Amino acid sequence: MLYAVLADIHGNLEALMAVLDRIDEADPDRLICVGDLVGYGANPAECVRTIRALEPIIVAGNHDWAATGKLSTAYFNADARDSIEWTVSHLSQDELEYLSLLELV
């Protein structure tokens, strides 16, 4: 069985699409996403929607939970905290709920 594993997307849609093109070429049996769909990048909503549509095996990253308020940003650096605030303002309630339902491991 062939698995493709994604991590640390951080709202970077261009990079995500490039990686998904390569994954498509490999034709894996299953996609696994190990978190941080959002944070820093300019396209958090698009990244969440893209990953969600693929129905991967998925767990939350710390930035995902921070965006939903399930994890404090107190230990984040100032840039990361600012990024989370911006990210939250660019996600729909549905996208935030999706992130909040992901398990953190």
What pLDDT digit, counting tens, does each position of 5-56 carry? 999 999 999 999 999 999 999 999 999 999 999 999 999 999 999 999 999 9
pLDDT of residue 105: 83
Does some domain include residue 52?
yes
Does some domain include residue 92?
yes
Tokens for 93?
Answer: 């309630």
Does some domain include residue 82?
yes
Does some domain include residue 105?
no
Q: With beta carbons less than 8 A apart as the criterion, state whether 37 and 71 touch.
A: no
Does some domain include residue 42?
yes
Reported as a single tens digit per residue, the pLDDT across 94-104 is: 999 999 999 98
Please tell me the total count of domains within the chain.
1
Q: For the domain that residue 73 is a member of, what is the CATH number?
A: 3.60.21.10
- Tell me the whole-structure pTM to 2 decimals: 0.96
- Tell me the C-alpha to C-alpha distance, in Å, between residue 17 and each of 31, 47, 48, 59: 14, 9, 12, 20
Range of the domain at 9: 3-100
